[in-house]
Homo-oligomer: A and B are copies of this chain.
Amino acid sequence: MKGRMDTASKKAVVLLSGGLDSSTTLAIAKSEGYELHALSFRYGQRHRGEVDAAVRIAQSIGVKRHVVLDIDLRSFGSSALTDDIEVPKKGDPSGMLHGIPVTYVPARNTIFLSFALAFAESVHARDIFIGVNAIDYSGYPDCRPEFIAAFERLANLATKAGIEGEFFAVRAPLISMTKSQIIQKGLSLGVDYSLTTTCYDPSAEGKACGFCEACLLRLRGFEGVGLKDPIDYE
């Protein structure tokens, strides 16, 4: 998770979902002087508005290139975010399974980081940014610091660049921040949070439900900084 000190033409690949965290991460990479290569996925997620939000955010913050890849995680099934399993609402105990929510998508961040690594090696970027967060993280195993460190280690064994001595860094600048701290950081960098989307189960018109785990974390984050969330809720 080390950064780079050189500023000349340094490039970063940034995983961008269109949510609050990844948008803030993109703004952080921008503020550090990186040339930005954003990467988003259509992966059969229920909240397809995500990709539209990612496109708006990439334009708003300013990236060199934005690649949107289609990958079909529905082929394997088994998550409320890609299947027909109902997204759990507040206080619904069926939404958790041994502390891990049913919205967990198997190996999602591993897949996303693998593509980010391929992208990074192809454009000669050595820094990969991901907006995972281990504090308000909903219990996903692939949002923990030990996962990020293990992926970074893998990246440097997996690639031509890695074995030639060019070090890949996987940077997760939000990993130990609270949602309120993330929002504060993003606002200080000029992120327009009205462009982002967070809800796991938005209405047909794209309004956030306000009751899923993701909405609750987001609303609590804005509460913590004494501000009103600028997006629309049902």
Closest Cβ of chain B to A164, distance in Å, is 6
Taking CB atoms, residues of chain B closer than 8 Å to A153 are 150, 153-154
Taking CB atoms, residues of chain B closer than 8 Å to A109 are 158
Q: Is A107 located at the chain interface by the 8 A CB criterion? A: yes
Is the pair A76, B147 in contact by a Cβ cutoff of 8 Å? no
Q: Is A173 located at the chain interface by the 8 A CB criterion? A: no
Taking CB atoms, residues of chain B closer than 8 Å to A189 are none
Interface residues on chain A, number (Cβ under 8 Å): 47
Closest Cβ of chain B to A24, distance in Å, is 23
Is the pair B106, A111 in contact by a Cβ cutoff of 8 Å? no
Is the pair B118, A108 in contact by a Cβ cutoff of 8 Å? yes
Taking CB atoms, residues of chain B closer than 8 Å to A142 are 157-159
A75: contacting residue among B67, B110, B155, B159, CB under 8 A: B67
- Alpha-carbon gap, A119 to B118, bound state (A): 20
- Alpha-carbon gap, A153 to B149, bound state (A): 11
Give the B-binding residues of A (Cβ under 8 A): 67, 69-73, 75-78, 97-98, 100, 104-111, 113-115, 117-119, 121-123, 141-142, 144, 146-147, 150-151, 153-155, 157-160, 162-164
Taking CB atoms, residues of chain B closer than 8 Å to A107 are 114-115, 117-118, 121, 155, 158-159
- Alpha-carbon gap, A146 to B156, bound state (A): 11
- Alpha-carbon gap, A64 to B71, bound state (A): 23
Closest Cβ of chain B to A124, distance in Å, is 9
- Alpha-carbon gap, A71 to B115, bound state (A): 10
